[in-house]
A and B are shown apart, each in its own frame.
Chain A
Amino acid sequence: DGGITQSPKYLFRKEGQNVTLSCEQNLNHDAMYWYRQDPGQGLRLIYYSQIVNDFQKGDIAEGYSVSREKKESFPLTVTSAQKNPTAFYLCASRPQGDFTDTQYFGPGTRLTVL
């Protein structure tokens, strides 16, 4: 089955630690995105990547980093510089040649900082 997978589903982190969230897709999509979701705030864009080895900051990139070494993978690292990292993180991808920006989402990772 084609789709987007995110792991782990739940993640706990101590303050001061970096943590990496995984996002993998086998849809052959070029573009991939990371969003942060907080209650009552909708989704906010952290980073996006339109092709391999290229990525751009979104609206709330501070305290986060990404890499895009393979088309299928777009991991997100939440660094200790992120002041309030507890949130639900969603990865998405967009089909090749889709100019409507229709995005397809993974199941999400809930990160809790202890």
Chain B
Amino acid sequence: AQSVTQLDSQVPVFEEAPVELRCNYSSSVSVYLFWYVQYPNQGLQLLLKYLSGSTLVKGINGFEAEFNKSQTSFHLRKPSVHISDTAEYFCAVSRGGTGFQKLVFGTGTRLLVSP
């Protein structure tokens, strides 16, 4: 079974500073990896996903993530954050394939951007 660990429950950062949100996963098979963002009292919005190919994935709002198979990581980065990036970020993993394949979520990382 897959699992996802987001080590940081909260990451405070100043506006225009770079940020990295960490995600590690465990799985005995190949996986698909996702990052979702949730603004207060809203649903989840897909930021980016890794399916195969290039290990550097670019998403919306200037975010990118790098898949590292040897370290089983999929960290999310942004070179310069804005106040509007304040939100909760969830990493998720799926085995994919036909039939039902469960999407497993981490516990989330709250990004707090201050002026």
Contacts and interface: CB of A to CB of B under 8 A. Distances in A.
Interface of A: 4, 6, 9, 31, 40-43, 45, 48, 50, 56, 88, 90, 92, 99-108, 110
B96 A100 contact: yes
Given A42-B106, A42-B108, A43-B105, A101 B96 contact: yes
Contacts of B54: none
Interface of B: 9, 32, 34, 36, 41-46, 49, 51, 90, 94-103, 105-108
Contacts, number: 59
Contact of B101 (A40, A41, A43, A101): A101
A114 B94 CA distance: 36
Contacts of B97: 99
Nearest to A3: B43
Given A41-B107, A43-B105, A100-B49, A108 B100 contact: no
15 contacts: A9-B41, A40-B9, A40-B107, A42-B107, A45-B103, A88-B41, A99-B98, A99-B101, A100-B32, A100-B94, A101-B94, A101-B95, A102-B34, A106-B43, A108-B41
Contacts of A103: 103
A35 B81 CA distance: 29
